[in-house]
Amino acid sequence: MNKSKVIAASLVSAALSVSVSAQAVPDQPDSWEKCLGVAKAGANDCGSTDGAHGCAGQATKDADPKEWIYLPEGTCEKIVGGVVYEAKQIERDTKGS
């Protein structure tokens, strides 16, 4: 391979590496929280807190107070209608009391 082809290949390689790094996903938060009351219909992250269903994507209405999504810790209470769902609430709700 001649010198100009090597230089061209190096430049293409450098340009591709810059392009890929510019599109990198930002770091994910270390801590997440379950946020009630802000999920859109069909966009909840898992089962409802009242046991009506057990899967993601089954919320039937926007901002249902029994549906939740994961958000970075500290974000939920900044959203109108958002309520952080605590682990103690999960245990109590699953025991039926």
pLDDT digits (tens, 9 = 90+) for 10-48: 545 555 454 444 555 567 778 999 999 999 999 999 999
**Residues above pLDDT 90, as percent of the chain:** 57
Strands 68-72 and 32-36 come out as antiparallel
In this structure, the dihedral spanned by the alpha carbons of residues 37, 41, 46 and 51, taken in order and rounded to 10 degrees, is 80
pTM: 0.61
Rg (CA), the chain: 23
